[in-house]
Amino acid sequence: MANFRVCPDSGFYFHKSAESLIKVNAVAGVVALLLAGVLALGVVLTRWQQVHLLPPQDFYMVLTAHGINALIFWIIFFEMAILHFASSTLLRSRLATPAWAWFGFALMVIGAVMNNVAVFQGRSSVMMTSYVPMQAEPHFYLGLILFAVGALVQVLVFFGTLVVAYQEKTYEGSVPLVTFGAITAAIIAVFTIASGAIILVPTFLWAIGYISHIDAETYRIIWWGLGHSSQQINVAAHVSVWYLIAGVLFGARPMSEKVSRTAFLLYILFLQLASAHHILVDPGVGTEWKIFNTSYAMYLAVLASMVHGLTVPGSIEVAQRQKGFTRGYFEWLRKAPWGNPVFSGMFIALVVFGFIGGITGVVMGTEQINLIIHNTIYVPAHFHATVAVGTTLTFMALTYLLIPVLFRRKIILPTLARWQPYLFGGGMTILILFMLGAGTLGVSRRHWDMDFTGAAMTFEYPGMAYTLMAIAAIGGLAAIVGGAAYLLITVGSLLFGQKLEPSAGFLQSFLGKALAPGVYNVDRPELLARAPRLTVEEHGSAGFEAPGTFALAILLLVSFVVYYFINWKYLASVWPMG
Amino acid sequence: MTSYMPPADRIWWKVPVGRVELVWIALALVWCVIMFLMMPYWHIYGKQNLSTEAYQTTPAAYGAKVQAMVEQYKVRDEANLPVVAPPAGSDIYMLGRLWQWWPILELEKDKSYRLHLSSMDWQHGFSLQPTNINLQVVPGYEMVIEITPDKAGEYGVICNEYCGIGHHTMVGKIYVKE
Ligand code: HEM
Ligand SMILES: [Cu+2]
Ligand SMILES: [Cu+2]
């Protein structure tokens, strides 16, 4: 029975059941993003002290829901779509056990809905971290547990699909780099979900009264085993997507398979570490362990990101130079398709992730420097650079690539789409930079009122702190408009985009059945052959192939060094302590 | 395009790595090592370090210690909160609870104190402003840090770990006198 179709434009093969799962997971993610974006409006308009929109109960509820929907539901649903794509589609294989994947998906949906219900009922405004002994309603935790179990089931189906592809010999040689990156993400996900289970299951039992006490510090240490490594899933996933986009748009080949794959491997080897950077200023955590852990042994996972930061743009540069864009250092970059949101989204994500997210993350994860940053608004600024721009904008860029391929619809509103990454990325960058500044002035995160209305004692922030928060909020509003544009374009394209195939429709194969018979007309895809070898010269052996990228990398390193030592200097100015 | 195709070379791990990558990896690795060494370096030569002194405690036991200090060294009241001026070099205590830092401390500039922190109920965040020192305050744990205030003035202690609806009203004080 023919179960595959081939996309005539991209050459990707879609297996029927994988295709519908990619679609539903992506759509569920986008729904969560919509919710997170609407809630972001409440968050920024309250943190903008002059506007101060919501009362405190609502603010904390909205902030809890914003964090969970954005960071957990949006990103993980979308990652499930990426996993099925990277296994079934890229390897041209059938999906291992579609029924199990649907079961996992259903659990995730139930979990996400249950958790949101708990939060919006108003008695579970505990933030995504849900630090004990503050307690949420039992179904808050149960929702998260079901969601995690569902994700685990889908991850296992992904592994199963890899085995099927291997056994049925759908490809030649080793798996492609993108799939390799997805495998690292999936392995990390298994670790993460294990930590999550270890901590959330007892917490749930505590919430329903079966366990009388959970130690607050133990909770923090294990919770961050989940909270931290789940961020490494995102990094591995979005870096894989960067390689994919570089390949699709430019025909880029990895500069070196060995280097890129080793870098992914470093994520696996060192990511269980670094959870300590969330507990650097906690009581009773040993110094040696903190230093070893917060630095991922010796910044080896940071090294891995720095390597990808070079090799992704480097591979684009090499490909562009081969096409003749060889003038100077940067002709290859100037002549890149900046009007194509797939490229601009991915490249802005890469730059903001590296220059802002990466640098601030390492700085605040430094054992002593954390003292002057912990729990200030600097922290959300940092992770909006990593997850809201790095991961989210990358996934947005991927959506623009997938809508024509997967849904066989043309993108509507092309002019808006062209500007969307700049609006979202630019607005976010303003939000991030000004929150970083406000954090340096001591403004607290998760805090309703910079004026401390009703407090017995007073404290006044400098006027500058208010100005910075106001500008940040304006940037945040621009980002929300950018996010709304994304949703408008994607949902609009699914519903109204010009059909690239007569049978294309919103529900095409959505639930496993094709609208028009005969869409799935390939019985067994051709063997996925090795990439062609370059005839001219063996790759990587000669010359300095990517001077422009190298110059950018040096710029990154210099900024990194300067900013790092500025923070030590700032630390040296606070009260001596030890 | 090989990014989503199997590598061109069957034995891809033997393909030599290009110069750009090698130079960058070397530079990045050196930088990683420097950053790593900065932390132990600061423990030896820097003045701002995190102590590891901490004890398991209970709200009742900790509360009793704070109470004892307040009774011994109270100098006045301010907004219904005791202001306590313990002698230089002594153990000083502050507790966090919903939604208050208790008591107010009055310290002398350039003198060292052993500051104890713990929570009576949920987690709180000790955020000393404007100097910007931030510590996590966890129930059941008593953290001890030696501090040496080096600038006179009035400092706010704000709570920067979300602790419920009154979180924003949780402001305490530390005075540092010349
Ligand atoms: C669309 C524009 C967005 C705006 C304007 C925005 C704004 C904010 C602000 C101002 C905060 C900090 C509030 C506080 O701590 O007091 C926050 C928290 C947060 N945001 Fe966003 N955000 C946006 C999108 C995103 C996206 C796309 C993600 C993730 C993929 C994300 C993840 C989070 C998380 C995890 C938190 C922390 C919640 C917590 O403290 O528990 N945000 N957001
Ligand atoms: Cu508090
Ligand atoms: Cu608080």
Question: For A176, which of B5, B50, B131 is closest by C-beta distance?
Answer: B5
Ligand 3 centre and the CA of B124: distance in Å? Answer: 5
Instruction: Note the pLDDT of residue A541.
Output: 40
Ligand 1 centroid to residue A369 C-alpha, Å: 23
The alpha carbon of A321 is separated from its chain's Cα centroid by a whole number of angstroms, namely 30
Nearest CA to ligand 1 atom 24: A388
A434 touches A469 (CB < 8 A): yes
Q: What is the reported pTM?
A: 0.95
pLDDT digits (tens), chain A, 578 positions: 688 989 888 899 999 889 989 999 999 999 999 999 999 999 999 999 999 999 999 999 999 999 999 999 999 999 999 999 999 999 999 999 999 999 999 999 999 999 999 999 999 999 999 999 999 999 999 999 999 999 999 999 999 999 999 999 999 999 999 999 999 999 999 988 888 888 899 999 999 999 999 999 999 988 888 888 888 899 999 999 999 999 999 999 899 999 999 999 998 888 666 677 888 888 878 787 788 777 766 688 889 999 999 999 999 999 999 899 999 999 999 999 999 999 999 999 999 999 999 999 999 999 899 999 999 999 999 999 999 999 999 999 999 999 999 988 999 999 999 999 999 999 999 999 999 999 999 999 999 999 999 998 889 999 999 999 999 999 999 999 999 999 999 999 988 889 888 777 655 555 545 556 677 888 899 999 898 887 554 444 445 689 999 999 999 999 999 999 999 999 999 999 98
Verify whether the Cβ–Cβ distance B3 to A442 is below 8 Å: no
This complex has an ipTM of 0.96
Minimum-distance ligand 1 atom for the alpha carbon of A128: 41
Instruction: Give the minimum alpha-carbon distance from A328 to chain B in angstroms, rounded to a whole number.
Output: 17
Pocket of ligand 1 contains residue A37 by CB under 6 Å: yes
Could you tell me which residues come within 8 angstroms of residue B34 by beta carbon, excluding any fewer than 6 positions away?
none
Name residues of chain B where pLDDT drops below 70. Answer: 1
pLDDT score at A578: 84
Give the start-end residues of each E strand in B10-139: 54-56, 74-78, 81-84, 91-97, 100-102, 104-108, 113-119, 124-129, 133-137
**pLDDT at residue A513 in the model:** 53
Any alpha helices (H) in A48-176, and if so which ranges?
56-67, 75-84, 90-91, 98-121, 138-167
Measured in Å, residue A37 CA sits from the centre of ligand 1 at 9
Q: What domains sit in chain B, N to C, each tagged with a CATH number? A: 54-177 (2.60.40.420)
A226/chain B closest Cα distance in angstroms = 19
Q: Do A533 and B21 touch (CB under 8 A)?
A: no
| N-terminal to C-terminal alpha carbon distance within chain B | 69
User: Burial code of B12-24, b = ≥16 C-beta within 10 A, e = fewer?
Assistant: beebebbbbbeeb
Which residues in chain B are contacts of A444 at CB distance < 8 A? 125, 127, 158-160
Substitution target from B94, B116, B154, B162 for chain A, most A beta carbons within 10 A: B162
- Establish whether residue A207 lines the binding site of ligand 1, counting it when its CB lies within 6 angstroms of any ligand atom: no
Between chain A and chain B, the number of residue pairs with CB atoms below 8 A apart is 350
